[in-house]
Structure formats: C-alpha cells, structure tokens
Amino acid sequence: MRDILAKTIFLFHSAIVLFWLSLLFIPTSWWPNKITFHFYFTLFIIFHQLLWGFLIFPWTKRYRLVCFLTTLTQFLRGEEISDEKNYNHCFAKEFFGKAGMNISHQFVTRFTLIILIITAIQYHFFH
C-alpha cells in the first residue's frame, strides 16, 4: 500500500512540475493572468521548499531546498527524514533518471532559480 501511495504522490508531483514548466509556453492571449499566476506559483514553490528545508533541519543537520512531496514520497518508500536519501533526494533528478537522463541536484536548483528570474522579469515588465 505504501508503494502505491509513493507512486501516486510521485505522479502528482510530476503533474505539478510539468504544469509549472508548461506555463512558460502558454501565451497570455490564451490566459491573460498567466504571468501573475506563474510568478506567484513559482514563489510558492520556492518558498515552501525554503520553509520545509528549514523545518526538517533538526533531523537532517543540513539546509537544502526540499519539497514536502519529495519527503513524503521518500518516507513512504521507507526512508527516515534524517536519511540522506530523503533530504538529499531530488525529484527532478529521479524523474529525468527514469527517462535515462542524468542531471545534477545543482542543475535543478539553478534551473529553478532561472525560472524564478524569468517569471520575475515577466511580472515586472509585462504585468
């Protein structure tokens, strides 16, 4: 049952990330408030990772951007919060790894910040 829940959360996580990234390609003529939504959605994604990384710091003894859904998935897979497989795990790395592509955790962090910069520029100049 735990494995099914972990797979379900992984798929839900995948859908959220794909939706988040797809917003880069949706024209504002289709969705006039897309820029505002995408900017605040990106802020929420990053803020929740900052906050969750802070909240689990007593167990991990390391600070990192960590998604709550990643922690939940890893917990359901039997990993303790204090285990490096939990806080050092990267959803995007696993997602792309399943597709045969190897990306680094550092790349994912930088890519997330690039999306923040892009959405902030769009929000500032085109909102």
Note the pLDDT tens digit of each residue in 54-96: 999 999 888 888 899 999 998 999 988 888 776 677 788 788 8
Q: What share of residues in the chain are helix, strand, coil (percent, to 5)?
A: 75, 0, 25
Cβ count near 52 (within 10 Å): 19
Question: Which phi and psi angles does 88 have, rounded to 5°?
Answer: -100, 0
With CA atoms as reference, report the closest residue to 48 among 122, 112, 120, 97. 112
The lowest-confidence range among 20-24, 79-83, 119-123 is: 79-83
Instruction: Please give the model's pTM, rounded to 2 decimal places.
Output: 0.88
Where along the chain do its domains lie?
Answer: 2-126
